[in-house]
Every structure is written in structure tokens, then in C-alpha cells.
């Protein structure tokens, strides 16, 4: 029976959000939360970029040590052999290889450098390079798929399958698709190519979540697994990407949707609120009051009719229970009144006080390394570290030290 899977792209598309960003330690925390939430895969970033390589090495080491649970890590590369060859030595086993497919981008982005035949040739050569480098799973990315005609999109998908790719990512790059259209196109393409077609939807018309749900239903219509790209809190370029928690809630509670197919990932939504609140804090982007599930008004009632009904039985006006998303975080650094913190300029006394207060036990011989990592990570984020961040540092200091080559002996 077909299943639904989630592939989060916060650490690739999300961090490209203008006027914001995450440190490499912040990107590491995204992987930590995705692992706790039970998402299948994280597109961890750009492994061919020089400044991403220490972070990728650290992430691979953390994954191997169990810090991210069963989360799979994948690297995003242009469908360029040189990009893939740069990435292969870092130890990733999952890739997504991207190239534009629409006539608009072939004409006005490539400007004569590539035609349709060359697009397919570049893509298949990159897939071959990833396979030669030991990749276990490869997806190909049809950028601007929503403006690519059906015939060429199928040619692209069939060539990808023949080359050894296991999925095709359909990118609604400029956010112009609508639910009925995307469902029909997904069903047609997934059926003809005999491959899952992965949703990647932008929110320029406010329909990224609706389009992601509809595209996934098209996969299921064709008897294929559905793979959905998301970003925490719906961050992403321009108006953002499909929100991770909204998509999870839709497939858990949406009328006529929740019963269509099982979610094949071991989702634990009790981490949802902690992840959303952490991301808002780390990115400096306040959650909208009406953010599904996690906004301050998501379970608030004021009008007489609603308040009366909710007091009698919350199910009168609430689709799912507030407790489903877990507790609001109560971090050490956010305590009111007198508080001693540990951070970039903190000393050993404050460090020990915080660690003891949180009940964090350090492995023998690791105290100095953990202390220095706390200073480095706080310096990288330029804000107080959260309890979850401190626990990750204390639990995996030797793997996290790879984030800072040359800084720690």
C-alpha cells in the first residue's frame, strides 16, 4: 500500500530566506528536531560549498552516533558532475540533483547554453556520478516543473529512472500551481513514469500546503508513495514553502485526506511546538498568532458562541487537541528574575551551575570540551543557548567538534 513520507528542506530552501539565516549549529539543531519529530529525511544543505563541509561532516558523524534518530540526511547539488564529486567524500548516501526544466528557464536562465537534450544529459551524468560515489538513493529536481509541459516532464522523469534515480521532485518554483491542477499532473506523471513524484511547493499564492496535499494525493491516485517537501514554520524564499506542521496535521486530521494512506514515518507531534518555538527564536521570526497548531491564538476562543461551545466540549470548535503538539518550552535562559547563564563569555562556575541545574551529566573527561563548545556555539548563534541545544552539545561533543575545525585541539 502506498505511504506518505516527509522530506524537510528547512536546511536548504528554508535557510535561503532573505533577511534571516541560521548558523551551522542552528542547522544542526534543525536536524535534531526533525529526528525527534520522526521525519524521514532532511535535505541538510549544500555539500559542495566550502563553508558547508565542516557542518556536513559533523552532521554525518552525529547521525552515525544516533543523535538524529532514524533521520536520513541528503545533500542538494546542482545537476553538475563537479558538484557531486565535491560532495561524495563527505559520506552522504542520499542526494537530490537539481536542474531547470521549463522553456522559460531554458531560454532565459540558461540563455542558449543548454537545450532540452542537454538538460537531460546533464541530469543523467550527475545521477551517474552520485551512483559511482556510493549513493543509496537519488532524487532529481525538476526546477520550475509547474511551467514545464507534460511531454518533456515525462521524458525527464523516464531518463532519471533509467539513470538510477528513485524519485522526481516537481517544483512549483514560483508558486503558481493550484490544487486541482497539481493533483492531476502528479497522478499523470507518477503513473506514466512509475516513480513517486515529490512535492516542492512555494507559497506565492498562499496555497503551498494545499498544493502539497493535493500533489501527494495525485501520487496516491497513481499507486505511488507520496513524498512531501516542507520547511518549519513555512519559511523559505519570497513567501515561503509548505509548512511542515501544517502538512503533518493535514494528513493526520484533514477530512477525506487522513484516511487515504498511512504516514510511513514514525511521527511524534509532541515535539512540534518545541521545534516551532525554537525555530522562531533561532531565526528571529515571530510565529503569526494564527499559525496552525503553534500560534498563540491556535486554541484561543473569545466570541460568545465559540467560547460557550468550547467550554462545553472543546471538540465543538477544535479539530485536534492542543496537547497533541507538546508543551511550550520553558528554557533556562528565559527564566524571569535572577538567573545565571552560560554562553560565549561565561566562565566555568556559571557553566557548571547551568549544567547541574538542568541535570545534564557529562561523560568523564568531556567537561572542558563541552564548555568550549558552549562558548563557540553561543558565539555562532549570538543569543543564549536553549536547553535542547545544551543537551545536544553535552551528549555529542566529539561529533559537534567537527563544526569547528582548527578551533578545538
The reported pTM is: 0.97
pLDDT per position as a tens digit, 292-323: 999 999 999 999 899 888 888 999 999 999 99
Q: Which residue did the predictor score with more confidence, 409 or 261?
A: 261
pLDDT at residue number 309: 86
Query: What is the distance between the alpha carbons of residues 249 and 273, in angstroms, rounded to a whole number?
Result: 13
pLDDT per position as a tens digit, 142-193: 999 999 999 999 999 999 999 999 999 999 999 999 999 999 999 999 999 9
Q: Which domains does the chain have, with CATH numbers?
A: 4-272 (3.20.20.70), 332-403 (no CATH)
Q: How confident is the model at residue 259 (pLDDT cuts 50, 70, 90)?
A: confident
Helix (H) / strand (E) containing 60:
helix 53-65
The alpha helices in 66-169, defined as continuous H runs, are 81-87, 103-108, 116-132, 150-163
Query: What is the distance between the alpha carbons of residues 271 and 352, in angstroms, rounded to a whole number?
Result: 27
Q: What is the DSSP letter of 361?
A: P
Query: What is the distance between the alpha carbons of residues 209 and 211, in angstroms, rounded to a whole number?
Result: 5
First and final C-alpha spacing in the chain = 51
Place of cell 518545541: 274
DSSP assignment of 379-397: HHHTSPPPHHHHHHHHH-H
Identify whether the C-beta of residue 164 lies closer than 8 Å to the C-beta of residue 128: yes
Query: What is the distance between the alpha carbons of residues 361 and 367, in angstroms, rounded to a whole number?
Result: 10
> How many other β-carbons are positioned within 10 Å of the β-carbon of residue 50?
8
pLDDT at 409 over 80: no
pLDDT at 52 over 70: yes
Amino acid at each position: 500500500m502506498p505511504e506518505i513520507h516527509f522530506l524537510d528542506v528547512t536546511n536548504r530552501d528554508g535557510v535561503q530566506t532573505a533577511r534571516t539565516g541560521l548558523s551551522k549549529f542552528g542547522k544542526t539543531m534543525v536536524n535534531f528536531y526533525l529526528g525527534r519529530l520522526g521525519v524521514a529525511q532532511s535535505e541538510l544543505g549544500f555539500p559542495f560549498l566550502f563553508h558547508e563541509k565542516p557542518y556536513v561532516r559533523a552532521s554525518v558523524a552525529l547521525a552515525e552516533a544516533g543523535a538524529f534518530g532514524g533521520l536520513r540526511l541528503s545533500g542538494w547539488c546542482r545537476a553538475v558532475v563537479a558538484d557531486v564529486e565535491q560532495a561524495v567524500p563527505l559520506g552522504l548516501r542520499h542526494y537530490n540533483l537539481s536542474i531547470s526544466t521549463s522553456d522559460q528557464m531554458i531560454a532565459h536562465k540558461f540563455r542558449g547554453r543548454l537545450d532540452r537534450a542537454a538538460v537531460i544529459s546533464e541530469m543523467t551524468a550527475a545521477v551517474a556520478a552520485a551512483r559511482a560515489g556510493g549513493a543509496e538513493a537519488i532524487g532529481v529536481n525538476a526546477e520550475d516543473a509547474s511551467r514545464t509541459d507534460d511531454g518533456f516532464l515525462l521524458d525527464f522523469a523516464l531518463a532519471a529512472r533509467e539513470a538510477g534515480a528513485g524519485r522526481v521532485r516537481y517544483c512549483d518554483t514560483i508558486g503558481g500551481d493550484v490544487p486541482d491542477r497539481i493533483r492531476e499532473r502528479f497522478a499523470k506523471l507518477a503513473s506514466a513514469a512509475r516513480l513517486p513524484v515529490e512535492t516542492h511547493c512555494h507559497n506565492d499564492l498562499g496555497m503551498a500546503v494545499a498544493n502539497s496535499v493535493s500533489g501527494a494525493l495525485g501520487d496516491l491516485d497513481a499507486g505511488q508513495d507520496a513524498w512531501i517537501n516542507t520547511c518549519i514554520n513555512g519559511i523559505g524564499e519570497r513567501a515561503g514553502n509548505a509548512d511542515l506542521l501544517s502538512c503533518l496535521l493535514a494528513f493526520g486530521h484533514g477530512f477525506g485526506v487522513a484516511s487515504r494512506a498511512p504516514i510511513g514515518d514514525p511521527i511524534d507531534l509532541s515535539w512540534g511546538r518545541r521545534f516551532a518555538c525554537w525555530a522562531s527564536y533561532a531565526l528571529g521570526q515571530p510565529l503569526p498568532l494564527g499559525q496552525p497548531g503553534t500560534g498563540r491564538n491556535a486554541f484561543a476562543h473569545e466570541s460568545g458562541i465559540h467560547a460557550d461551545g468550547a467550554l462545553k466540549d472543546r471538540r465543538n470548535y477544535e479539530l485536534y487537541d492542543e496537547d497533541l503538539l507538546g508543551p511550550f518550552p520553558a528554557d533556562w535562559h528565559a527564566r524571569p528574575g535572577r538567573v545565571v547563564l552560560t554562553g560565549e563569555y561565561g566562565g566555568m562556575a556559571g557553566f557548571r551551575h547551568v549544567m547541574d541545574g538542568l541535570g545534564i551529566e557529562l561523560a568523564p573527561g568531556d567537561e572542558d570540551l563541552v564548555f568550549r563548545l558552549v562558548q563557540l556555539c553561543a558565539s555562532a548563534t549570538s543569543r543564549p543557548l536553549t536547553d535542547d541545544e545544551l543537551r545536544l552539545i553535552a551528549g555529542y561533543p566529539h561529533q559537534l567538534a567537527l563544526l569547528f575545525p582548527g578551533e578545538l585541539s
